[in-house]
């Protein structure tokens, strides 16, 4: 059955077709008022059922054709090359241990890292509870996290203003590969 088989071109009973002073019994008048929404409900549910059957058929075709997984090697060279050019965003967490410097290993050299407390606390005056790190040639006193060849490093300056590794606090990070 086609989706268009469920198309409603006109309702069976239109309220506008009734006389201004209907002389129908109450139960028949109620049935007229309920008929259009009911027709709409039936047609909508039939479309949903057809869509579910179609989705199951497509999933079956994908599983049969590709073994349930489409890998990059199955894509055209142009699409595969385009995907390779795109950067990937990785998310993770760590629990603070109050030790500096602290290396967080990602397994790749990130292009950017953003770190913050998982509870969203942004801190108080003079302390750092989040950082954004990009590649750069030299470190400054305002750096609290630096990119490394295998992830990023949490650091604290001599005046101990960093709150990026407080004991037993969960932190989240986003790293752009």
Look up tokens 């479309």; give the residue: 47
| Top mean-pLDDT range of 61-65, 105-109, 116-120, 123-127 | 105-109
Count CA within 13 A, CB hemisphere, residue 96: 21
For residue range 112-136, what is the model confidence (pLDDT) as tens digits?
Answer: 899 988 887 766 665 667 788 888 7
pTM over 0.75: no
Percent of the chain with pLDDT over 70: 73
pLDDT at 150: 92
pLDDT at 28: 86
Alpha-carbon distance values, 83 to 68, 89, 95 (Å): 20, 13, 33
Mean pLDDT, rounded, for 37-65:
75
Helix and strand numbers, DSSP H then E, in the chain? 2, 7
């Amino acid at each position: 059955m086609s989706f268009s088989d469920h198309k409603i071109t006109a309702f069976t009973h239109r309220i506008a077709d009734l006389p201004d002073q209907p002389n129908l019994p109450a139960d028949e008048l109620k049935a007229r008022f309920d008929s259009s929404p009911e027709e709409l409900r039936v047609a909508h549910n039939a479309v949903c059922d057809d869509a579910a059957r179609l989705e199951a058929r497509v999933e079956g075709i994908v599983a049969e054709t590709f073994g349930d997984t489409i890998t990059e090697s199955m894509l055209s060279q142009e699409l595969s090359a385009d995907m390779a050019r795109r950067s990937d965003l990785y998310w993770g967490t760590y629990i603070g241990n109050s030790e500096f410097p602290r290396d967080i290993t990602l397994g790749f050299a990130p292009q950017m890292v953003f770190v913050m407390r998982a509870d969203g606390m942004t801190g108080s005056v003079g302390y750092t509870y989040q950082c954004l790190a990009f590649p750069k040639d030299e470190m400054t006193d305002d750096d609290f996290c630096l990119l490394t060849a295998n992830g990023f490093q949490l650091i604290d300056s001599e005046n101990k203003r960093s709150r990026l590794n407080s004991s037993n606090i969960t932190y989240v990070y986003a790293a752009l590969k």
